[in-house]
Amino acid sequence: MAFQNGRVTLTKDPELNKRLTLRKDLIEKKAQRTSISANSARVVFVLDHSGSMRTMYNDGTVQTLLERIFPMAMYFDDNSELDFYWFDSVYRCLDPVTPDNLIGYVQKVILSRKDHFGTTCYAPVMQEITERFAVRERSDMPTFVVFITDGANSDKTAAKQVLTEASRFNIFWKFIGIGKEQFEFLERLDTLKNRFVDNANFVSVNDLAVLSDDELYTLLLEEYSDWLAACRQSGIPV
Protein backbone atom coordinates (compact mmCIF):
# COMPACT_ATOMS: atom_id res chain seq x y z
CA MET A 1 0.00 0.00 0.00
CA ALA A 2 1.11 3.53 -0.63
CA PHE A 3 1.60 5.88 2.31
CA GLN A 4 0.84 9.59 2.23
CA ASN A 5 1.22 11.76 5.33
CA GLY A 6 1.27 8.64 7.48
CA ARG A 7 -2.04 7.35 6.12
CA VAL A 8 -2.53 4.28 3.98
CA THR A 9 -3.92 5.02 0.51
CA LEU A 10 -5.21 2.68 -2.15
CA THR A 11 -7.02 3.44 -5.38
CA LYS A 12 -9.80 5.96 -5.93
CA ASP A 13 -12.35 3.15 -6.30
CA PRO A 14 -13.81 2.08 -2.91
CA GLU A 15 -15.17 -1.22 -4.24
CA LEU A 16 -11.83 -2.14 -5.81
CA ASN A 17 -10.12 -1.22 -2.55
CA LYS A 18 -12.32 -3.69 -0.68
CA ARG A 19 -11.41 -6.47 -3.11
CA LEU A 20 -7.72 -5.62 -2.94
CA THR A 21 -7.69 -5.57 0.85
CA LEU A 22 -9.54 -8.87 1.11
CA ARG A 23 -7.12 -10.47 -1.34
CA LYS A 24 -4.08 -9.10 0.45
CA ASP A 25 -5.41 -10.44 3.76
CA LEU A 26 -6.05 -13.83 2.14
CA ILE A 27 -2.46 -13.97 0.87
CA GLU A 28 -1.20 -13.09 4.34
CA LYS A 29 -3.18 -15.92 5.91
CA LYS A 30 -1.93 -18.40 3.32
CA ALA A 31 1.66 -17.27 3.78
CA GLN A 32 1.35 -17.82 7.52
CA ARG A 33 -0.26 -21.25 7.10
CA THR A 34 2.47 -22.45 4.74
CA SER A 35 5.23 -21.10 7.02
CA ILE A 36 6.69 -18.77 4.40
CA SER A 37 9.76 -17.49 6.17
CA ALA A 38 10.36 -14.29 4.19
CA ASN A 39 7.71 -11.62 4.55
CA SER A 40 9.23 -9.30 1.94
CA ALA A 41 9.91 -9.82 -1.74
CA ARG A 42 10.08 -7.90 -4.98
CA VAL A 43 7.14 -9.10 -7.06
CA VAL A 44 7.40 -9.18 -10.86
CA PHE A 45 4.47 -9.89 -13.18
CA VAL A 46 5.51 -11.23 -16.60
CA LEU A 47 2.69 -11.67 -19.12
CA ASP A 48 2.50 -13.19 -22.58
CA HIS A 49 1.86 -10.60 -25.32
CA SER A 50 1.70 -12.98 -28.27
CA GLY A 51 -1.03 -12.79 -30.88
CA SER A 52 -3.18 -15.43 -29.22
CA MET A 53 -3.44 -13.19 -26.12
CA ARG A 54 -4.77 -10.15 -28.01
CA THR A 55 -8.43 -10.76 -27.12
CA MET A 56 -7.64 -11.08 -23.41
CA TYR A 57 -5.89 -7.71 -23.43
CA ASN A 58 -8.78 -6.07 -25.24
CA ASP A 59 -11.77 -7.57 -23.42
CA GLY A 60 -10.71 -6.74 -19.85
CA THR A 61 -9.45 -10.19 -18.91
CA VAL A 62 -5.87 -9.00 -18.41
CA GLN A 63 -6.98 -5.98 -16.37
CA THR A 64 -8.98 -8.26 -14.08
CA LEU A 65 -6.02 -10.62 -13.78
CA LEU A 66 -3.72 -7.70 -12.95
CA GLU A 67 -6.06 -6.66 -10.14
CA ARG A 68 -5.81 -10.20 -8.73
CA ILE A 69 -2.00 -10.36 -8.98
CA PHE A 70 -1.40 -6.87 -7.54
CA PRO A 71 -2.27 -7.90 -3.94
CA MET A 72 0.84 -10.10 -4.04
CA ALA A 73 2.84 -6.87 -4.17
CA MET A 74 0.62 -5.32 -1.52
CA TYR A 75 1.63 -8.11 0.84
CA PHE A 76 5.26 -8.80 -0.08
CA ASP A 77 6.58 -5.46 -1.39
CA ASP A 78 7.03 -2.66 1.14
CA ASN A 79 6.32 -0.07 -1.58
CA SER A 80 3.34 -1.96 -3.02
CA GLU A 81 4.86 -1.78 -6.49
CA LEU A 82 4.35 -4.60 -8.96
CA ASP A 83 7.03 -4.63 -11.63
CA PHE A 84 5.47 -5.41 -15.00
CA TYR A 85 6.89 -6.93 -18.19
CA TRP A 86 5.15 -8.22 -21.27
CA PHE A 87 6.85 -10.48 -23.77
CA ASP A 88 6.40 -11.99 -27.21
CA SER A 89 9.42 -12.29 -29.50
CA VAL A 90 10.74 -9.21 -27.65
CA TYR A 91 9.87 -7.76 -24.25
CA ARG A 92 8.89 -4.46 -22.71
CA CYS A 93 9.42 -3.26 -19.15
CA LEU A 94 6.52 -0.93 -18.41
CA ASP A 95 5.69 1.39 -15.53
CA PRO A 96 5.40 -0.45 -12.20
CA VAL A 97 1.81 -1.06 -11.18
CA THR A 98 0.87 1.02 -8.12
CA PRO A 99 -2.35 2.06 -6.37
CA ASP A 100 -2.17 5.29 -8.39
CA ASN A 101 -2.21 3.68 -11.83
CA LEU A 102 -3.88 0.28 -11.27
CA ILE A 103 -7.29 1.46 -12.48
CA GLY A 104 -7.24 1.26 -16.28
CA TYR A 105 -3.60 0.20 -16.37
CA VAL A 106 -3.97 -2.14 -19.35
CA GLN A 107 -5.67 0.45 -21.54
CA LYS A 108 -3.57 3.44 -20.47
CA VAL A 109 -0.13 1.84 -20.17
CA ILE A 110 -0.19 -1.19 -22.47
CA LEU A 111 -2.76 -0.87 -25.24
CA SER A 112 -2.17 2.86 -25.73
CA ARG A 113 1.31 1.99 -27.02
CA LYS A 114 -0.23 0.04 -29.93
CA ASP A 115 2.63 -2.47 -29.83
CA HIS A 116 2.53 -5.39 -32.24
CA PHE A 117 1.41 -8.72 -30.77
CA GLY A 118 4.20 -11.11 -31.79
CA THR A 119 5.35 -14.69 -31.46
CA THR A 120 6.47 -16.36 -28.22
CA CYS A 121 10.01 -16.35 -26.80
CA TYR A 122 10.71 -16.82 -23.09
CA ALA A 123 14.47 -16.36 -22.87
CA PRO A 124 14.91 -12.61 -23.57
CA VAL A 125 12.60 -11.47 -20.78
CA MET A 126 13.93 -14.15 -18.42
CA GLN A 127 17.49 -12.98 -19.11
CA GLU A 128 16.54 -9.35 -18.49
CA ILE A 129 14.86 -10.16 -15.17
CA THR A 130 17.84 -12.23 -14.05
CA GLU A 131 20.33 -9.50 -14.95
CA ARG A 132 18.21 -6.79 -13.36
CA PHE A 133 17.50 -8.45 -10.02
CA ALA A 134 20.69 -10.51 -9.66
CA VAL A 135 23.16 -7.89 -10.93
CA ARG A 136 21.94 -4.33 -11.53
CA GLU A 137 19.52 -4.21 -8.57
CA ARG A 138 20.96 -7.02 -6.50
CA SER A 139 19.46 -7.37 -3.05
CA ASP A 140 19.16 -9.87 -0.22
CA MET A 141 15.41 -9.54 -0.66
CA PRO A 142 14.06 -12.38 -2.85
CA THR A 143 12.32 -11.76 -6.15
CA PHE A 144 9.04 -13.55 -6.85
CA VAL A 145 8.26 -13.79 -10.58
CA VAL A 146 4.73 -14.62 -11.76
CA PHE A 147 5.17 -15.70 -15.40
CA ILE A 148 1.95 -16.33 -17.35
CA THR A 149 1.75 -17.68 -20.90
CA ASP A 150 -0.84 -19.32 -23.13
CA GLY A 151 1.48 -21.07 -25.55
CA ALA A 152 4.72 -22.85 -26.31
CA ASN A 153 7.90 -20.91 -26.98
CA SER A 154 10.35 -21.11 -29.89
CA ASP A 155 13.54 -20.75 -27.83
CA LYS A 156 13.54 -23.79 -25.56
CA THR A 157 17.32 -24.29 -25.34
CA ALA A 158 17.94 -20.64 -24.47
CA ALA A 159 15.16 -20.63 -21.86
CA LYS A 160 16.57 -23.73 -20.15
CA GLN A 161 20.01 -22.13 -20.04
CA VAL A 162 18.68 -18.91 -18.49
CA LEU A 163 16.70 -20.77 -15.83
CA THR A 164 19.75 -22.88 -14.97
CA GLU A 165 21.95 -19.79 -14.63
CA ALA A 166 19.27 -18.01 -12.58
CA SER A 167 19.15 -20.89 -10.08
CA ARG A 168 22.20 -19.42 -8.30
CA PHE A 169 20.29 -16.25 -7.43
CA ASN A 170 17.37 -15.39 -5.15
CA ILE A 171 14.75 -15.36 -7.91
CA PHE A 172 11.75 -17.70 -7.75
CA TRP A 173 9.87 -18.41 -10.98
CA LYS A 174 6.17 -19.32 -10.86
CA PHE A 175 5.20 -20.42 -14.37
CA ILE A 176 1.46 -20.54 -15.08
CA GLY A 177 0.20 -21.98 -18.35
CA ILE A 178 -3.31 -20.88 -19.26
CA GLY A 179 -5.59 -22.43 -21.86
CA LYS A 180 -5.70 -25.85 -23.46
CA GLU A 181 -2.03 -26.07 -24.47
CA GLN A 182 -0.21 -29.12 -23.09
CA PHE A 183 2.79 -27.03 -21.87
CA GLU A 184 5.20 -29.96 -22.04
CA PHE A 185 8.18 -27.59 -22.06
CA LEU A 186 7.10 -25.77 -18.90
CA GLU A 187 6.65 -29.14 -17.22
CA ARG A 188 10.27 -29.93 -18.16
CA LEU A 189 11.44 -26.59 -16.74
CA ASP A 190 9.74 -27.50 -13.46
CA THR A 191 11.95 -30.59 -13.14
CA LEU A 192 15.03 -29.31 -14.99
CA LYS A 193 18.26 -31.02 -13.93
CA ASN A 194 21.62 -29.45 -13.05
CA ARG A 195 20.24 -26.37 -11.30
CA PHE A 196 21.92 -25.03 -8.17
CA VAL A 197 18.52 -25.08 -6.42
CA ASP A 198 15.04 -25.88 -7.71
CA ASN A 199 14.02 -22.32 -8.55
CA ALA A 200 10.76 -22.85 -10.45
CA ASN A 201 7.28 -24.26 -10.16
CA PHE A 202 4.76 -24.80 -12.94
CA VAL A 203 0.98 -25.07 -12.82
CA SER A 204 -1.49 -25.38 -15.69
CA VAL A 205 -4.88 -23.68 -15.53
CA ASN A 206 -7.45 -23.93 -18.28
CA ASP A 207 -9.21 -20.70 -17.27
CA LEU A 208 -7.93 -18.42 -14.51
CA ALA A 209 -11.31 -16.68 -14.37
CA VAL A 210 -12.99 -19.75 -12.89
CA LEU A 211 -10.47 -20.01 -10.05
CA SER A 212 -11.52 -18.47 -6.76
CA ASP A 213 -9.06 -16.09 -5.13
CA ASP A 214 -8.39 -18.80 -2.55
CA GLU A 215 -7.46 -21.29 -5.28
CA LEU A 216 -5.37 -18.76 -7.21
CA TYR A 217 -3.23 -17.74 -4.25
CA THR A 218 -2.78 -21.34 -3.19
CA LEU A 219 -1.32 -22.06 -6.64
CA LEU A 220 0.85 -18.94 -6.60
CA LEU A 221 2.43 -19.73 -3.24
CA GLU A 222 2.94 -23.44 -3.92
CA GLU A 223 6.62 -24.45 -3.42
CA TYR A 224 7.70 -20.91 -2.47
CA SER A 225 8.43 -21.91 1.12
CA ASP A 226 10.41 -24.95 -0.08
CA TRP A 227 12.47 -22.72 -2.37
CA LEU A 228 13.26 -20.28 0.46
CA ALA A 229 14.50 -23.19 2.59
CA ALA A 230 16.62 -24.53 -0.29
CA CYS A 231 18.17 -21.10 -0.79
CA ARG A 232 19.17 -20.85 2.86
CA GLN A 233 20.68 -24.33 2.82
CA SER A 234 22.68 -23.41 -0.30
CA GLY A 235 23.86 -19.99 0.91
CA ILE A 236 21.61 -17.90 -1.34
CA PRO A 237 20.48 -14.80 0.58
CA VAL A 238 16.73 -14.53 1.06
Which of the listed CATH numbers 3.40.190.10, 3.40.605.10, 3.90.950.10, 3.40.50.410 matches domain 2-233?
A: 3.40.50.410
**pLDDT 10s digit of each residue in the chain, 238 long?**
443 333 346 899 999 999 999 999 999 999 999 888 778 999 999 999 999 999 999 999 999 999 999 999 999 998 899 999 999 999 999 999 999 999 999 999 999 999 999 999 999 999 999 999 999 999 999 999 999 999 999 999 999 999 999 999 999 999 999 998 899 999 999 999 999 999 999 999 999 999 999 999 999 999 999 999 999 999 999 9
Closest by CA to 43, choosing from 134, 172, 175, 135, is 172
Helix %, strand %, coil % for the chain, to 5? 45, 20, 35
Q: What is the structure's pLDDT at 9?
A: 60
CA distances 6 to 1, 15, 25, 66, 80, Å, are: 11, 22, 21, 27, 15
What are the extents of the domains in the chain? 2-233
